[in-house]
Structure 1
């Protein structure tokens, strides 16, 4: 059975990777909860891109007025989505067949 990760961004969190699957009673992952990117068998470039995207995601929230609309324009939202799609594809390639990475952004 492959190792399972969930991919999604969360405010206040510096990684988009979480052990899973959802509902798993044993989320005592050796990779942390959420996952510590340095513990995963991925390239430094992939790790840096996931960190960059997690940091960038934080700017999609108006921290002074969290219930309000996002300060991002539609173009910024689309650009982020494309970059996250590319990072997810690279992550899956880095991890290989022994890993299942579930896209939980939608």
Structure 2
């Protein structure tokens, strides 16, 4: 059985990699080029489209600042990414274990503050953890 990890990486888009060095060698190294996998041209095109879409989630001017996606866009992307994962699992069949290595996307809680003043925006520091005591 082959094992492949499915994730997204800014700049690379869809990122597929084998955990097992033998699988990595068999499929041409990491990251794995979807063109080498026994999947449909339609699914390859969908993976490319998803990767390009994912790249729009980052604030490329200054990546630590909030990205531009509102929750509705995050939800659409999450649905499309999960659908592509399911299709990849189906098309690769039982010979493959396809591992989901991506988190769902969520609107950044600071997006409105950022949009109100992008030049002056600063992230608020996280509050320190509160100490808990047991009676």
TM superposition score normalised by structure 2 = 0.70
Which gives a bigger RCO, structure 1 or 2 (Cα 8 Å, sep 6+)?
Answer: 1
* CA-based RMSD: 1.4
In structure 2, C-alpha distance between the alignment counterparts of 1:102 and 1:54, rounded to whole Å = 17
Once the two structures are superposed, residues 9-49 of structure 1 have per-residue CA deviations (whole angstroms, 9 ceiling, x without a partner) of 001114331112xxx5x374332311101000000011110
Q: Is the 8 A contact 1:18 1:34 kept in 2?
A: yes
Q: Give the structure 2 partner of residue 13 of structure 1.
A: 12
TM superposition score normalised by structure 1 = 0.88
Q: Give the structure 1 partner of residue 71 of structure 2.
A: 74
Q: Give the structure 2 partner of residue 30 of structure 1.
A: 26
Q: Give the structure 1 partner of residue 83 of structure 2.
A: 86
In structure 2, C-alpha distance between the alignment counterparts of 1:41 and 1:29, rounded to whole Å = 16
In structure 2, C-alpha distance between the alignment counterparts of 1:53 and 1:16, rounded to whole Å = 11
| Count of equivalent residues | 101
Q: Give the structure 1 partner of residue 40 of structure 2.
A: 43
In structure 2, C-alpha distance between the alignment counterparts of 1:19 and 1:62, rounded to whole Å = 29
Match among 98, 101, 106 for residue 98 of structure 2: 101
In structure 1, C-alpha distance between the alignment counterparts of 2:25 and 2:13, rounded to whole Å = 17
Q: Say which SS state the counterpart of residue 93 (structure 1) adopts.
A: helix
In structure 2, C-alpha distance between the alignment counterparts of 1:63 and 1:57, rounded to whole Å = 12
Larger radius of gyration: 2
In structure 2, C-alpha distance between the alignment counterparts of 1:45 and 1:79, rounded to whole Å = 19
